[in-house]
Structure 1
Amino acid sequence: MRKRIISILAAGCLCGGLLAGCGSSDSQNTSSENENRKDVSGKDFGEYSPEKPLELKLSHFAASEENQLAILANTFAEYVEEESGGSVKVTVYGGGTLGNDQESLDSVIAGTLDCAVNNTPIMSGYAQGLSVLDLPYLFEDYDDIYSFLDSEICAGMLEDFSSTGAKILGLQCVGFRNLESSKGFAETPEDLKGLKIRVTGSDVYINTWNTWGASAQTMPGNEVLTALQQGTIDGCDNVNNVCIADGYQQYAEYISVMEYAAHFNGITMNAAKFDSLTPDLQEVITSAAKKANLECTKNLESKNEEQLEEMVAGGAQKSENVDKEAFKKASQSVYEDFLKENEKGAQYYESIIELLGK
């Protein structure tokens, strides 16, 4: 089992800096840790202190440390230790060593794992209303995304999820999903006819791609590259960060810039564990999650564009001639099915539409 203890890095190190490494000698690191830790005197952390810290296990399933799941996990761990003055230490287990997306969320709900980074399509299996975030072209730009993330609607959705046994500490947006295919570009729905496309296990995603004419396939994320290499699937959809980190463009070199769905994930924590902590300690953890989510969302806003161009420079091809209006029109039945079958999701949808002024 690969185990990595996240230590406190210099405050100026952002998400990318975490992966590149910011430390030097042990003595310098120790000095930096002490300097960056907040003064938490007067805070009530119960039985926990720098000498006897609360130790949390956090899982993510990303195979690469360049993947946005790993970056979020590491950034959160840094901020928790910093904001708590060393009274909370987070151990990050990567690469799915504590389970894939579904398994790790199950463990958080059961209380056998403290925290995980999970995708909202997986979370929606426990709170159907969250699948509203998967609807095609609901969010059209980052202005929409930031308005939603900063809204009472988002806060209410996160609070509603606590009834599952897991608390969502906050969400990050990892970008807009595009199609990577080995069979050429998909600029209209007609171009998808007969293609086997791997999608994340969301009923909305599955219905969307099937409605567009593709054959939606679901499989764990760590199996996608092999499936592309072996031709088991013809393509997959994801954000650019995941594609380049996992190497999809090696075998699915045609990238159609569809930007059809904003993809969200976030940090979950066992609700009973969270509730057992003092209010001051709860505030530290939620504050650290909020900082990490916002920082990583902003970094990915520009990083995804850079990584698209990096993939093209490496031999992939892109098409920005996607007829988005045709895909939106073809999505009408997806919306009709969703609004008819998902009562809570329909409530969220109406609130989001009002918020965004659509």
Structure 2
Amino acid sequence: MSRSTTVLLGAALSAAVALAASAQTTLRFAHTQPTGDTHHLAAVRMAELVAQATGGALRISIHPAGELGNDPAILEGVRLGTIDIGQTGNPFYTRFEPKLNALDIPFLFASHEHVYRVVDGEVGSGLLAELEKHRLKGLAFWEIGFRKITNSRRPIVTPADLQGLKIRTTPNPAHVEAFRLWGANPTPMAFTEVYLALETRAVDGQENPLNIIRSNRFHEVQRHLSFTDHAYTVSIVSMNLARFRALPEAQQKALVDAAREAAIYQRRLNREQEGQDLAAIKAAGVEVVERVDTEAFRRLALEPVKAAYVAQHGAALVDAILALR
């Protein structure tokens, strides 16, 4: 092979590499959970699936643990386009799309299976479509789960035990009103601030599922855990709508398919890890109350919170959810 031919081949190879690099797109995915949480593991799985489906042309870089901001900041970043993809709990979406507040009505969901029938079907598709008027493309519903109450003061068995306790809640109106009805002092707060608030006793307690409690080490700064299971919370993975629409159709499909497959993966992880999560919480010395008077909690909150939602948004969505029990 002549020297000139070698030079030409080398130049062609360099050009091909440069072209491949320029054709590769990287999307930034932000969330507030630590790397040990199932949300992060699901994000990693989604990134792997997208890379596989697109032959590496579309990649996702993951920014966990509030690296790009707290939940409201991440969501605003996705709407503005400074962040490509974000994952956060439904309560933060209800700030600008109140219709989604139906999903957070206490005791509305009967089981995990009931939730999945709702969010994976026509009802869920319709709710994700509502996000488009807010410059978001809803990709999939992931899972936060059935919420339980922890606190540093006393065991919670009935609503009366919550009297006067300062409980960190999401900013969702359904959550805030439910805890007010139960006699607590609901205190909305950014998730990234919760551990310090619990540690310094700025608040007495918080409410989240077992996996969130363990992965965020809340059990280190709380003494009591109660299985109230008072509400189920979805998390939503969404993308900047303009950024999504600018991608080739095949890459759009790869993103949606991967987000939905990662949802199934995350749910499975949550079920498999529940026993380990509870064991770790107990091992830390937390007193666990598994037999809670949930009917008393339901009786005080379900109908008033549901009625407030229906008065603002009508009964159609709530009825559709209840019909899938």
Contact 1:239 1:304 in 2 (8 A): no
2:114 maps to which residue?
Answer: 144
Which residue does 1:255 correspond to in 2?
225
What pairs up with 1:238-277 in 2 under 5 angstroms? Answer: 238-277=208-247
1:355 is aligned to 324
How far is 1:278 from its partner? 2.3
Distance (whole Å) between structure 1 residues aligned to residue 106 and residue 170 of structure 2: 14
Indicate the structure with greater helix content.
2
Name the CA distance, whole Å, in 1 between partners of 2:39 and 2:258: 16
Structure 1 residues 229 and 50: alpha-carbon distance in aligned structure 2, compared to 1, 3 A threshold: same
Q: State whether structure 2 residue 313 is matched by structure 1 residue 334.
A: no
Q: Tell me, what secondary structure is at the counterpart of 2:324?
A: helix
Taking the aligned partners of 1:355 and 1:292, their CA distance within structure 2 comes to 23
Give SS of 2:115's match: helix
Aligned to 2:88: 118
Deviation string 1:236-273 (CA, Å, 9 cap, x unpaired) is 00111111111111221210001111121121100111
CA distances 1:300-347 after superposition (whole Å, capped 9, x unpaired):
12323430122112311111121111111001211221211234xx32
Indicate if the aligned counterparts of 1:51 and 1:87 stay in contact, CA closer than 8 A.
no
Once the two structures are superposed, residues 165-197 of structure 1 have per-residue CA deviations (whole angstroms, 9 ceiling, x without a partner) of 011100112321000011111111111110000
Is contact 1:174–1:301 with CA below 8 Å preserved after alignment? Answer: no
2:198·2:205 contact (CA, 8 Å) conserved in 1? yes
Residue 207 of structure 1, CA deviation: 0.6
Does 2:53 correspond to 1:83?
A: yes
Task: Tell me if 1:162 matches 2:132.
Answer: yes
- Tell me, in whole angstroms, the C-alpha distance in 1 between the residues paired with 2:275 and 2:163: 28
Paired-residue identity, %? 27
Question: 160, 172, 175: which one pairs with 2:142?
Answer: 172
CA contact (8 A) 1:196 1:215 kept: yes
2:26 equivalent to 1:55 = yes
Alpha-carbon distance in 2 for matches of 1:98, 1:225: 18
Shift in Å, 1:99? 1.4
Say if 2:39 and 2:266, in contact at 8 Å, map to a contact too.
Answer: no
Q: What amino acid sits opposite 2:174 in the alignment?
A: V
C-alpha contact 1:208 1:334 (8 A) present in aligned 2 = yes
CA RMSD of aligned residues (A): 1.6
Question: Which of 39, 58, 73 is equivalent to 1:69?
Answer: 39
Q: Note if contact 1:174-1:297 (Cα within 8 Å) is conserved in structure 2.
A: no
TM-score of the two chains, using structure 1 as the length reference: 0.82
User: Which residue does the alignment assign to 1:199?
Assistant: 169
Tell me, which stretches of 5 or more residues in structure 2 are unaligned? 1-18
- Within 5 Å, which residues of 2 pair with 1:295-310? 295-310=265-280
Distance in 2 separating the partners of 1:228 and 1:145: 30
In structure 2, what residue type is equivalent to 1:349?
A: V
Map residues 283-302 of structure 1 onto 2, 5 A cutoff: 283-302=253-272
Match of 1:97 in 2: 67
Corresponding position of 1:226? 196
Runs (5+) with no aligned partner, structure 1: 1-47
Q: 2:38 touches 2:269 (CA, 8 Å); kept in 1?
A: no
The aligned amino acid for 1:89 is R
User: Which whole-Å CA distance do the structure 1 matches of 2:20 and 2:304 have between them?
Assistant: 55
Q: Deviations over 1:186-230 (max 9, x none)?
A: 111111110000011111100111111100001111211111111
- Stretches (4+) displaced over 6 A: 48-51
Please name the residue that 2:15 is paired with. none
- Please say which of residues 300-309 and 330-339 is displaced more in the overlay: 300-309
Q: Residue 183 of structure 1 is aligned with which of 153, 156, 162?
A: 153
Counterpart AA for 1:240: L
Specify the structure having the higher radius of gyration (Cα).
2
How far apart, in 2, do the equivalents of 1:120 and 1:101 lie? 11
Mapped partners of 1:50, 1:268: distance in 2: 26
Letter in 1 for 2:28: K
Tell whether the 8 Å contact from 1:174 to 1:300 is kept in structure 2 after alignment.
no
Deviation at 1:50, TM superposition (A): 7.5
| Contact map agreement 1:148 1:355 (CA 8 A) in 2 | yes
Query: Structure 2-normalised TM-score?
Result: 0.90
Contact kept? 1:175, 1:304, Cα under 8 Å? no
State the alpha-carbon separation in 1 of the partners of residues 177 and 85 from structure 2: 30
Conservation of the 8 A alpha-carbon contact between 1:158 and 1:168 = yes
CA deviations 1:256-299 (Å, max 9, x no partner) are 00111112112110011111222222111100111111110121
Instruction: Report the 3-state secondary structure (helix = DSSP H, G, I; strand = E; otherwise coil) of the residue aligned with 2:87.
Output: strand
